[in-house]
Amino acid sequence: MSVLQARDITLAYDGVPVIAGVDLPVPPGQITALIGPNGCGKSTLLRGLARLLKPRAGAVYLDGAAISALPTKELARRLGILPQSPTAPEGLTVRDLVAQGRYPHQGWFQQWSREDEAVVARALDITGTTALAGRPLDTLSGGQRQRAWIAMALAQETPILLLDEPTTFLDIAHQLEVLHLLERLNREEGRTIVMVVHDLNHAARYAGHLVAMAEGRIVVAGPPREVLTPATLREVFAVEVDILTDRRTGAPICVPYGLCSPAAPSLGAAPGGERAHQPAVR
């Protein structure tokens, strides 16, 4: 099983460090969720893991080899990334989009092998987008579109899949649809998944491993039960919460009831709602 690990990495935008000296071992075969307030660097860390952002210091290792030293196509066959709110050209059909996932497997002359066809058909099938295959992306609902993008990432056939806020801008039903799909991919195909999510209860319910971040560092990482504690959430989000237990799944549920800091704005105590008040800093 592929092992992805960030060692002592520093990531910066335009010379301003967002993440400094962070170690992140990704547990193989599990779903890992990165949580934390806006601007804490979770998306940046994910981009670093996916080599979309080159570390200023330190490195990301895949099975012991630094990813910066791997040929980019080879890496793309082992590690897939779905960035936040990607956009497709107008009129592109779902099938054409998903077929792009085969890019790292294709060459000058081998551009649509039987294997490509079979893998794309399977990716459409597992994401429930087969019936939409001929439709242009711009005619789909947000949830359908997100499933199409996930299908593209699946067609890449990578053992590791990174997703940046895959449920953002989706209503609750579509959020669950996407999370169920990721859970299936993890359970049935053994794919390692790392995702940035905003909803703490979704993180606790679907991820086996949580990484809580604040101000460019990892505060605590571990199983949901150990990470979602009143003390940690006070430190990470500056919110006061009660932790309950979901009777169906045994997962922790956090119920926010207030802000700790009087300096903070009085609105939007819920962790999922803070997005609306602050510009997203990536």
Partner 1 sequence: MRGAAARGPIVIRPGRLPLSWTVDRRVPPVLLLLGLATVVATVLSVGYGQYFIAPLDVLRTFLGLETGNPNHPFVVTTLRLPRVLIAFLVGLALALAGTIAQGLARNPLASPDILGVNAGASLAAVALIVLAPAAPFYLVPPAAFAGALVVAALIAALSLRGGGSPIRLVLIGVGFAAVAGALTTALLTLGRTLFAARALIWLAGSVYGRSWRELWAILPWLAVFVPLALLLARHLDVLHLGDDVARGLGSRLALWRGLLLLTAVALAGAAVATAGAVGFVGLMAPHLARRLVGPAHAGLLPTAALTGGLIVLLADLAGRALFAPVELPCGVITAIIGAPYFFYLLYRSGGS
The residues that touch partner 1, with contacts defined as CB under 8 A, are 47, 50-52, 72-77, 80-83, 86-93, 95-97, 99-101, 103-104, 106, 108-114, 116-117, 133-136, 153, 156
CA distance 231 to 212: 12
Map residue 64 onto helix, strand or coil.
coil
Considering beta carbons, is residue 82 or 253 the nearer one to partner 1? 82
The torsion angles phi and psi of 266, rounded to 5 degrees, stand at -80, -10
Considering beta carbons, is residue 60 or 253 the nearer one to partner 1? 60
CB 137 within 8 A of CB 148: yes
Closest of 45, 37, 22 to residue 217, by C-alpha:
22
Please give the radius of gyration of the chain, using alpha carbons only, rounded to the nearest integer. Answer: 19
CA 266 to chain centre: 29
Written as one letter, the residue type at 181 is L
CB 65 within 8 A of CB 17: no
Considering beta carbons, is residue 117 or 171 the nearer one to partner 1? 117
Considering beta carbons, is residue 60 or 227 the nearer one to partner 1? 60
Considering beta carbons, is residue 275 or 282 the nearer one to partner 1? 282
Crossing angle for the helix pair 114-126 and 172-189, to the nearest 10 degrees: 130
CB 153 within 8 A of CB 80: yes
Residue with tokens 């497709």: 88
- For residue 207, what are the contacts with CB-CB under 8 A and spacing of at least 6? 30, 31, 32, 33, 195, 197, 224
Closest of 271, 223, 236 to residue 31, by C-alpha:
223
Please compute, for residue 134, the number of CA atoms within 13 A of its CA located in the half-sphere on the CB side.
Answer: 1
Considering beta carbons, is residue 95 or 191 the nearer one to partner 1? 95
Q: What residues does 13 pair with on adjacent strands?
A: 16
CB of 58 to partner 1, least distance (A): 20
Considering beta carbons, is residue 79 or 210 the nearer one to partner 1? 79
